[in-house]
């Protein structure tokens, strides 16, 4: 796209210069390319104002948001993590975390296990240690639950689990926002 070379050619006085001259064409080409590169750079900077069109500036958005994506994360997953981080409004309630997950395209339910308490529980109820109040479970429903990675010869490495599952985006966001004194356990359930 030699837009600026053409514009510079049109700016020449009609009688003073021969626009078809070889030396003048080289000069116009060089100046036009410099102006084209400047315009492209300005457009990239203008697009980077929002992460939706950041392109090559997405690592800057990740740095500002405090995110460290894995080396294998695709661009869309990285963009989704940045958008989720920017959408955070803060909160510690179950509805806050379920709304946050819904905004990222996940359907989750959150359970808080409780210890056995006299006068509240009955014989036959499950026993749990008193510290179970610091644990909560996030059950991810739907397509994310189908992401199962089975050990395969030639595709897996020695020492890996026979079956692994999970979704790095939802787990990273929830672990980043959870209260520091709690532990989040993730479960995946297909619909």
| pLDDT of residue 162 exceeding 60 | yes
pLDDT at 138: 93
pLDDT above 70 coverage of the chain, percent = 95
Cβ contact 2:10 at 8 Å: no
Section 14-32 average pLDDT:
81
Section 35-62 average pLDDT:
84
* Helix, strand or coil, per DSSP, at residue 135: strand
The pLDDT-based confidence of 183 (bands split at 50, 70, 90) is very high
Where exactly are the structural domains of the chain?
3-47, 91-189
Measure the CA–CA gap between 44 and 79, rounded to whole angstroms.
Answer: 16
Measure the CA–CA gap between 26 and 41, rounded to whole angstroms.
Answer: 23
Residue 100 main-chain phi, psi, to 5 deg: -60, -45
* Residues whose CB is less than 8 angstroms from the CB of residue 93 and which lie 6 or more positions away in sequence, other chains included: none
Measure the CA–CA gap between 37 and 137, rounded to whole angstroms.
Answer: 52
């Amino acid at each position: 796209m030699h837009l600026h070379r053409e514009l510079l050619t049109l700016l020449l006085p009609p009688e003073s210069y021969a626009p078809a001259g070889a030396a003048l064409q080289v000069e116009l080409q060089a100046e036009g390319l410099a102006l084209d590169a400047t315009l492209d750079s300005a457009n990239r900077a203008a697009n980077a104002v929002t992460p939706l069109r950041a392109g090559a500036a997405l690592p800057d958005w990740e740095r500002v948001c405090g995110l460290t994506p894995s080396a294998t994360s695709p661009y869309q997953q990285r963009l989704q993590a940045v958008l989720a981080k920017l959408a955070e409004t803060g909160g510690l309630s179950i509805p806050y975390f379920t709304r946050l997950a819904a905004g990222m395209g996940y359907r989750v339910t959150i359970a808080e296990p409780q210890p056995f308490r006299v006068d509240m529980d009955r014989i036959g109820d499950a026993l749990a240690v008193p510290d179970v109040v610091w644990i909560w479970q996030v059950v991810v429903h739907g397509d994310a639950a189908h992401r199962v990675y089975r050990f395969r010869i030639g595709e897996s490495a020695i020492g890996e689990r026979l079956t692994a599952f999970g979704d790095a985006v939802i787990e990273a966001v929830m672990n980043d926002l959870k209260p520091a004194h709690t532990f989040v356990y993730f479960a995946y359930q297909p619909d």
